[in-house]
Amino acid sequence: MDIRTPFEMRPGVPAYAAVRDVIRAEIMDGEISAGARLTTAFLVKRFGISQMPVREALQALEGEGLIRILPHKGATVLSLDSKRVGNIYDLRGAVEALLVRKCLPNITNAAMAELSEIHRVLKDAVDRGEPRTVFDLNTKFHSLIYRYAQNPEAEGVYDRYAKLLGTLRGRYGFSPFRMHQMVDEHDEILDALRRQDEAELDVLMRSHVEGAKLDLVSRIEIEEAAPPKTGTL
Amino acid sequence: MDIRTPFEMRPGVPAYAAVRDVIRAEIMDGEISAGARLTTAFLVKRFGISQMPVREALQALEGEGLIRILPHKGATVLSLDSKRVGNIYDLRGAVEALLVRKCLPNITNAAMAELSEIHRVLKDAVDRGEPRTVFDLNTKFHSLIYRYAQNPEAEGVYDRYAKLLGTLRGRYGFSPFRMHQMVDEHDEILDALRRQDEAELDVLMRSHVEGAKLDLVSRIEIEEAAPPKTGTL
DNA sequence: AAGTGGTCTAGACCACCTT
DNA sequence: AGGTGGTCTAGACCACTTA
């Protein structure tokens, strides 16, 4: 592997963080493909740093679910195929349904007003066809709700895969259908929040996340069926 | 703090793992109380090792949810109060309901037979009043089901807090009522599994975990109201 | 500015997997 | 037994918080 990004230390950025970010980007870009082995020795040479920061970078990436470190076998890159992304969405669906239910006793009127405002701006972004803005506002909408659940453990699970799924969304985008569906579902969620309808919120949030899952997974599956660059030559 | 457990390296056990285990045990025993600050400098002196393994031990404990490391502020011990334990159970309930639903397409007849057998032995342990065996068999029962969900991410969340809650159970035990309730609920879960009743399993598993939560949380709350050793003198 | 916390290196050594 | 991977030390230096 060549050194595309000529690696240079920036002051204030620890080596392990810089290396972690470079490797993460390369995995997400598919430049390092699933199953590839990341050996410490190679990375030490490539980045010109010592073993400890390399090891910390790898441990961080394992924590993010991008690689797996097997004792005395080294690190291998995990796949982000449709199956795994589907699993992550299933997990998120369960957790988000919990979070939205648990926010009910705590959510304030002011928060509801803020949600409505986010929702309004999100609708505009959908109408103008700005998927990046849609993604950001969607994240904001959900995070705001979950903050009121007062369950940091569950929020942590939600956050854990946020960046990962966000990057995938950046690559695959939303279908126009999905963006409109999202708006409708947010409408229903807002309404159920106002009515404090716990059972309904549970159902709504699950199908909301299921909708997001289907949209992204189907796009990944299309690519899996017909790889963009490397064919099965 | 004194050095209760005279720390000595065992061959084959890395220093960071040994230190991590000692600190974990002390936190779980309540010997290091919530809010306590764990400074690297102190631990370096106490265990007679260098900074790197101490740091790794702390990072591992942060991953386990026992401490929190704030940048340039050091590590503080998180509390395992009833609120937090309740949160963890809520998270587990959501995830376990997901796992039991997702196992339906994959679970085998042989697995069902094994579950019935575990269930039978568990009932005996309840009748003989052996909470430790009950705990182990309950864990086995659940883990076996979840293996068939084929969702490593969700299983990971389940596993993440397993040791933590297990240790708390070891301290607080089960109420006799809870043990009998558990058996009944396992009965119903087995039945719903046989019928492949997804919606019913969702409901059953949530209330099953909720039952476990109430039992443990109430026991913790009793202790919080009347601390066993240190009073509010 | 001082103090604390965080990170890095270079080299050494140990442990486990593969011959 | 050799090779790879994993871990440790000792000291140095940098970065952030606090006064």
Decide: A211 and A182 in contact? Cβ < 8 Å: yes
Closest CA–CA distance from residue A127 to any residue of chain B (Å)? 35
- Which residue's CA is nearest to the C1' of nucleotide C15? B12
Instruction: Strand D: list protein residues with Cβ under 7 Å.
Output: A 11-12, 37, 39-41, 51-52, 55, 69-75; B 14-17, 48-53, 56, 71-73
How far apart CA B93 and CA B209 sit, in angstroms, is: 5
Backbone angles phi, psi at B19, to 5 degrees: -65, -45
How far apart CA A223 and CA A39 sit, in angstroms, is: 29
Inter-chain residue contact A91 with B97, CB threshold 8 Å: no
pLDDT of residue A162: 87
Give the least confident one: A9-23, A25-39, A52-66: A9-23
Report the run of H or E that residue A53 belongs to, with start and end: helix A51-63
Report the run of H or E that residue B38 belongs to, with start and end: strand B37-38
With a pLDDT cut of 90, the percent of chain A lying above it is 76
Chain A hits for B98, CB-CB cut-off 8 Å, are: 90-91, 93-94
Backbone angles phi, psi at A160, to 5 degrees: -55, -40
Dihedral (C-alpha) A220, A222, A223, A227: value to the nearest 10 degrees?
150
Angle at B62 between CA B61 and CA B68, to 5 degrees: 125
Backbone angles phi, psi at B67, to 5 degrees: -130, 170
DSSP string, B139-187: HHHHHHHHHTT--HHHHHHHHHTHHHHHHHHHHH---HHHHHHHHHHHH
Chain A hits for B88, CB-CB cut-off 8 Å, are: 153
pLDDT per residue, tens digit, chain B (233 aa), is 433 344 566 667 899 999 999 999 999 988 898 999 999 989 999 999 999 999 999 999 999 999 999 988 889 999 999 999 999 999 999 999 999 999 999 999 999 999 999 999 999 999 999 999 999 999 999 999 999 999 999 999 999 988 889 989 999 999 999 999 999 999 999 999 999 999 999 999 999 999 999 999 999 999 888 876 554 43
Helices marked H in chain B — which ranges? 15-28, 40-47, 51-63, 82-103, 109-128, 131-147, 152-160, 162-172, 176-194, 198-225
Report the run of H or E that residue B74 belongs to, with start and end: strand B74-77
- Output the six-digit token pair for A11: 């002051």
How far apart CA A46 and CA B162 sit, in angstroms, is: 39
pLDDT of residue B177: 94
pLDDT of residue B36: 92
How far apart CA A206 and CA A90 sit, in angstroms, is: 9
Strand D nucleotides with an atom less than 7 Å from a protein beta carbon: 4-12, 14-18
Distance A19 CA to C17 C1' (A): 28
Strands A74-77 and A37-38: antiparallel
Give yes or no for CB of A39 within 7 Å of strand C.
no
Q: Looking at the predicted structure, is the pLDDT value of residue A151 above 50?
A: yes
Inter-chain residue contact B90 with A152, CB threshold 8 Å: no
| A37-38: strand order across its sheet | A37-38, A74-77, A67-70
Higher pLDDT, A60 or A233: A60
pTM above 0.75, yes or no: yes
Inter-chain residue contact B151 with A87, CB threshold 8 Å: yes
Q: Looking at the predicted structure, is the pLDDT value of residue A142 above 60?
A: yes
pLDDT of residue B7: 59
Chain A contact present for B24, CB below 8 A: no
Crossing angle of helices A198-225 and A162-172, rounded to 10°? 50
Confidence class of residue A134 from pLDDT cuts 50, 70 and 90?
A: very high
Distance A70 CA to C18 C1' (A): 16
Distance B120 CA to D16 C1' (A): 59
Chain B contact present for A78, CB below 8 A: no
Distance B63 CA to D19 C1' (A): 33
Shortest CA–C1' contact from A51: which nucleotide? C9
pLDDT of residue A29: 87
| B67-70: strand order across its sheet | B37-38, B74-77, B67-70
Q: Please give the residue of chain B at the shortest CA–CA distance from A52.
A: B52
Report the run of H or E that residue A77 belongs to, with start and end: strand A74-77
Give the count of beta carbons closer than 10 Å to the beta carbon of residue A159: 12
Over residues A16-37, mean pLDDT = 91
DSSP one-letter code for B10: P
3-state SS, residue B190: helix
Distance A123 CA to C9 C1' (A): 53
- Output the six-digit token pair for A94: 């369960």
pLDDT digits (tens, 9 = 90+) for A177-193: 999 999 999 999 999 99
